[in-house]
Structure 1
């Protein structure tokens, strides 16, 4: 499929969804959306999506169950402002590009715990298990003024399965499919008036596909992931609560090294652990304190030493936070807090430095003035390596009608160089400066009884962007774009979709930034037919370039995934998917294969 064709398909799919479906189903009495999702990621304070002055999307457990993903990338690919590239499927290195920014410019949180590798800077999206996720909040646009470094492009927060008041409820699943794939898992959740708990575990295995034809061996490159997660909270008194949560995953993922006959695999560990307490100091002052730790470890092992020496990269982040929320009256809300983190590197590679700390303080003030909302945030970071950084954000919203809100914002952000960029032998550059950015956004959102849509245009200018090939700062990169997200539900139908347009360049060379498509689109359609449901996801992605010189072109493509489910009883459900139904050949990284047509079937039990 040519890039022009893909662009027209992407635009047509998205515009057809918005123009064709949403107005036809739009609410006519002006009532706002019912049960608008609650989010905490945009400001660290609870608010509805409709109240937020950010571009934010929520993927809940019902949607995850409907779409039956094998990987978290299946849920995120093609969403508004979001694209992903991977070195093959099933546990292979995956990069997420939010609004055209770099892969290490999006912060990943798991239940509030900062994840990612201190050596590479990026998060290991490929190891996140969909079976353990309750919901995902995706915030597009800079958030350094609240979370510090890494949030130039946005924040993705994953929430693991939660307990709810009531007797213990069990869930379990088992499934299998193409590429000798099988998975299974189980969990239990419940609670009393004072205590809530959840515990679940899962196992995923696939033989996979041969990821590279011209490197490594000709065998399939498999993947195994074993995961366990849990949450526990207990109310000590009416004013005080203690809580804890964890996510732990470990496994193996095969990969093809550059040696044309070698085989290799990595053993990985991903973990997030947190404990803390919440206290109602007064009716107008809520406080939370917590300590946490995350780990990102990979051991790269080569068969018969046909590749480089075996290596270990084990990074650990120790963290603490103090968060306060104040109701100041007169429609004023204030959040004030401080957080501390220290990164540690334990590796077979000899880094000149193997630890550094960062201390940050932040404040977020929100004011309602009739139909207008104003919000300002300011953060000061003291980094052991780079000294101090101050970032801020201003946002304004205007409620034009009960269902329509406009917004505008300006924000600054920064990203500190990684340990690899600074200290990796024969590559690191200790003279690197932090990347800094300025972003502008204008948006409008409509939420009705049966439909919603959100349109935003934005621009981000990044100074001192780090060139990953030469490991130097370049003067400036610029990303301009527009994104449209919409959805509607009517009786047995559910429809949602997104379209993103990007204009991005390295302003030193005039070249496009690598692996970012200029256009992408996604449409999800589902219909309930009694005990049956059927659905489809259509994805379209324009052409991109695999390298910074723009010499290697990645063709655009379109994919169609089909799904169905049957409720055998209220508790038992049989599900099936046909992925890449048209058996398209495509790549998101040059030389790395992606799966052809594949079939998966699973059986699920959910106790009500």
Structure 2
């Protein structure tokens, strides 16, 4: 099988994806991913552990919040300080929550002050698909991709007359939500525009802290995409995702006004028959204005400007070389007088993909030069061998690093400007089977992280070792859709021997749905083993394991109208994923949808 080159423009604007369970393949067309190598490849060509969540699956699962789409997926544990807009940590392969890189349509997201991304402000209704790539990707994307990369793609236009969609949802905790959108285009121009507003009274997230009132959340999101392809094949494109609202909390600061935004524009096209080039500029914003008792308390705003020039060169039928230049500048505006308020990062990267008979080879190398903490070179090599037409083995080794934050480097009086980046190396071996509507993947991995930043003032002293097994499968048989994921994890602080916080040793996810004429019914089981959390003194608190059952149903009232309902945590289980922070009990939601 020869290497296939799918220009990103084709992937985002013209390919119809038919899979609806994680990486399950239909009989004729396989899901295409772009996150693992920055170039388009089918799932079976990837030498990474990947999960793909399509729009069809998002609509079937009817998630109350974005984190619900990620919970207990292979290699993922989610810990949040309450539902609906509260701080959410995504732990990928047992690494820290700020070791997972979030991309939105190719734009790097996150707060440069505290590190990590604001997952809680993403609206599921604006998302077309999600690609989860597990394992280090610093040699492709730079800092922070130690555990992996999660990329969110917003809705896109397609050739045809305007197609409208709208929905309205109500439910427990006085939840109200509504949204509408339109997509369309012709042979040259494609567009998409959608907006969503969500409001909820929420729950009281902390007992005996702050007041006993519910801690609400409201969020207004807008997403848009526009592209135009000229007769010579050159394409101009742009996309925007913006969320803005307020979230309430129990603590000294009990309200936060936020802005979460990704903006990107660029040009791409084939310069020759063997040379595809893409030039983009982008900006992300992560802004938080905090209030206590109605009075302004603090402000932490990150603006990240970036530019990227990527070139894909076909060197024969079986060799693809990607080389690019990457520039980024972080700027911080805050009520805290940081010693420094900006830093730049320059990088050069390359990815080489080759196919030699039954052997697939990949290698990537990247050098980052950062104004604050110097140069870092990362690399990754991977080998795949096709045991049969449907069964592939793989093995890889990769290095990665995590950048120190502005808080750690420049906090007035306590920052440590001499901090080094956190460093990691990962070994992985896996097997993947793909045949028509059946898919399974198994991966064994070990990640060693050194120079972990801890303490205050912060220093590079800690080390961690993480070992794990991931099993994932999905199938689509007749009217049945199913998926399962199991993760076994041993994540240890090498200095203390303690388990790493908020990471269960075992987690399980089961999804099962059936279509019965105009009706569909389904359910999800989420099981999570016990874990530990630690207070600021290092004292351990055990978090009990738990299992949740969520049920769902939908009814196609007419060709363009459907009625959907969910019942989450049907057993009204009392549980926590972070010590001291409550999670919702039994909750019901009802929605009506229009899809042209």
Query: TM-score, structure 2 length as denominator?
Result: 0.94
Q: Structure 2: which 5+ residue stretches go unaligned?
A: 1-23
Aligned to 1:269: 259
Aligned to 2:64: 70
Q: Answer whether contact 1:512 1:550 (CA < 8 A) is retained.
A: no
Cα deviation for residue 33 of structure 1 reads 5.3
Q: What secondary structure does 1:150 align onto? A: coil
Q: Answer whether contact 2:157 2:185 (CA < 8 A) is retained.
A: yes
Aligned-partner Cα distance in 1 for 2:431–2:337: 50
Pair 1:322 & 2:294 matched: no
Aligned-partner Cα distance in 1 for 2:377–2:212: 51
Aligned-partner Cα distance in 2 for 1:164–1:88: 38
Matching residue within 186, 189, 202 for 1:192? 186
How many matched pairs?
Answer: 571
Report the CA distance shift for 1:185/1:304 in structure 2 as closer, same or farther (over 3 A).
closer
Runs of 4+ in 1 over 3 A off after TM superposition: 31-34
Pair 1:349 & 2:364 matched: no
Aligned to 1:16: none
> 1:3-152, aligned counterparts within 5 Å?
34-152=28-146
Cα deviation for residue 427 of structure 1 reads 3.8
Aligned-partner Cα distance in 2 for 1:378–1:507: 28
Pair 1:606 & 2:595 matched: yes
Q: Answer whether contact 2:474 2:484 (CA < 8 A) is retained.
A: yes
Pair 1:496 & 2:486 matched: no
Aligned to 2:272: 282
Matching residue within 504, 507, 516 for 1:520? 507
Pair 1:571 & 2:560 matched: yes
Cα deviation for residue 470 of structure 1 reads 6.0
Pair 1:534 & 2:534 matched: no
Cα deviation for residue 304 of structure 1 reads 5.1
Cα deviation for residue 475 of structure 1 reads 4.1
Aligned to 1:301: 291
Report the CA distance shift for 1:563/1:427 in structure 2 as closer, same or farther (over 3 A).
farther
Q: Answer whether contact 2:156 2:191 (CA < 8 A) is retained.
A: yes
Aligned-partner Cα distance in 2 for 1:319–1:394: 27
Matching residue within 484, 487, 506 for 2:474? 487
Q: Answer whether contact 1:33 1:447 (CA < 8 A) is retained.
A: no
1:540-569 Cα distance to aligned partner (Å, 9 max, x none) = 001111117462111111000000000001
Aligned to 1:218: 212
Pair 1:370 & 2:364 matched: no
Aligned-partner Cα distance in 1 for 2:203–2:274: 56
Cα deviation for residue 429 of structure 1 reads 2.1
Q: What secondary structure does 2:581 align onto? A: coil
Aligned-partner Cα distance in 1 for 2:66–2:484: 17
Aligned to 2:438: 451
Q: What secondary structure does 2:182 align onto? A: strand
Cα deviation for residue 459 of structure 1 reads 0.3
Q: Answer whether contact 1:239 1:280 (CA < 8 A) is retained.
A: yes
Q: Answer whether contact 1:239 1:281 (CA < 8 A) is retained.
A: no
Pair 1:442 & 2:429 matched: yes
Q: What secondary structure does 1:75 align onto? A: helix
C-alpha RMSD of matched pairs (Å)? 1.4
Report the CA distance shift for 1:459/1:596 in structure 2 as closer, same or farther (over 3 A).
same
Q: Answer whether contact 1:80 1:498 (CA < 8 A) is retained.
A: yes
Q: Answer whether contact 2:128 2:153 (CA < 8 A) is retained.
A: yes
Q: What secondary structure does 2:540 align onto? A: coil
Aligned to 1:250: 244
Q: Structure 1: which 5+ residue stretches go unaligned?
A: 1-26
Report the CA distance shift for 1:32/1:162 in structure 2 as closer, same or farther (over 3 A).
closer
Aligned-partner Cα distance in 2 for 1:33–1:540: 32
Aligned to 2:374: 387
Query: TM-score, structure 1 length as denominator?
Result: 0.92
